[in-house]
Amino acid sequence: MFDGERQARWRARLALGLLLAPALIWLGALIVLPHVDLALLSFRARVGPRSYVASLAQYRTFFQEPLYWHVFVRTAVMSILATLLTLLLAFPISWVIAKLAPGRAGSLLFVLCLIPFWVSETVRTLGWMILLRESGVLPALLTWLGVTQAPVELLYHDATILVGLVYTSLLFMVIPLISSLESLDNSLIEAACDLGAGGFAILRTIVIPHAAPGITAGCIVVFMLTLGNYLTPTLLGGKNSQWFTEQIYTQFITRFNWEEGAAFGFLLLGLSTVMVVTGLKLTGQRFGDVMRRT
């Protein structure tokens, strides 16, 4: 009896281990290991051919060089801006899908949000370039309408980068928002209205508090995606984009300075962590609650 019980328990443990194995391998081999290696890289400096010493030189360089600083802060600010814009745009869309469009119409609208993601991000972004470049569709249209005298270059502006980032991120905001708005009981809205609340009061006192975990989840995901985005800022912003991921790319690939690149990578990770923690603290949310909503 005792033996059989122990065997059963051992078998259960084996099953659990096997089920978890892919996740553990993924986590260990693809995330933890490279990061450990990157951490080691970032804390050493090259003193001669194939000779390295432990040093904080890489991080010192970052703080001493204004360009790196500037790009770092700019990336953070632009990412926050893109996140807020995405939220502003996604909220009404999610509201319509979750609350106003009945059944099939709601699903259809959701599919419309999803369809652009069937196309690769590169192709989508190139599509934006076709629309916005000086000889592109939109400048031609503006000229034809008489808004501008000659076609203007709409690429390579900060606004262009923001448009691209919002476009890329929209779905990741819409999904958690829909799920949190769908779970809002309509009778709560009616009750608030019945008790004298107008549209804005209902939004502020009922809808936003209810959707807060969804809003936070969407913002965290969008912020992380935007901060780590490489393609969109590079293609739409050109040389002016000054995105921090480009600096990392440059260090690794162009300069072959892996030590500096690794340090930058960790700085970006740190930035993203600090922003997420600050965001959660400011809105009084807990990470666990928020992630259950996504």
Partner 1 sequence: MSAADLVADAVSKRFADHVAVDSLSFSVEHGSFFSILGPSGCGKTTLLRMIAGFIAPDSGDIAIGGTPMRGVAPNRRPVNMVFQQLALFPMMSVGDNVAFGLARRGVARAERRRRSLAMLERVGLAGAAGKRVDELSGGQRQRVAIARSLVLEPTLLLLDEPLGALDLKLREHMKIELKQLQAAFGTTFVYITHDQSEALVLSDHVGVMNAGRFEQQGTPQDLYYRPQTPFVAAFVGANNRIVGRATASNAGLVQITTADGWTLHARGRGPIATGDAVEAFVRPEVVSLARHARELPEGRPAHAGHVQSVLFDGANSAVLLREAGTRREFRIALPQTGQFSDLKPQEAVMFSFDPERAVCFAARHGAAGQDV
Nearer to partner 1, 7 or 183 (CB): 183
Residue 46 sits at φ, ψ, to 5 deg, of -85, 125
Nearer to partner 1, 46 or 99 (CB): 99
Nearer to partner 1, 114 or 201 (CB): 201
Nearest to 181 by CA among 158, 155, 211: 211
Facing residues of 54 across strands? 44
Q: Residue 65 CB, nearest distance to partner 1 (Å)?
A: 47
Structure tokens at 53: 């010493």
Nearer to partner 1, 49 or 196 (CB): 196
Q: Residue 258 CB, nearest distance to partner 1 (Å)?
A: 50
Q: Residue 183 CB, nearest distance to partner 1 (Å)?
A: 11
Distance between CA atoms of residues 51 and 209, nearest Å: 57
Q: Residue 251 CB, nearest distance to partner 1 (Å)?
A: 47
Q: Residue 207 CB, nearest distance to partner 1 (Å)?
A: 10
Nearer to partner 1, 109 or 202 (CB): 202
Q: Residue 284 CB, nearest distance to partner 1 (Å)?
A: 12
Nearer to partner 1, 161 or 184 (CB): 184
Binding site for partner 1 (CB under 8 A): 185, 187-188, 190-198, 201, 205-206, 209-210
Q: Residue 190 CB, nearest distance to partner 1 (Å)?
A: 6
Nearer to partner 1, 164 or 176 (CB): 176
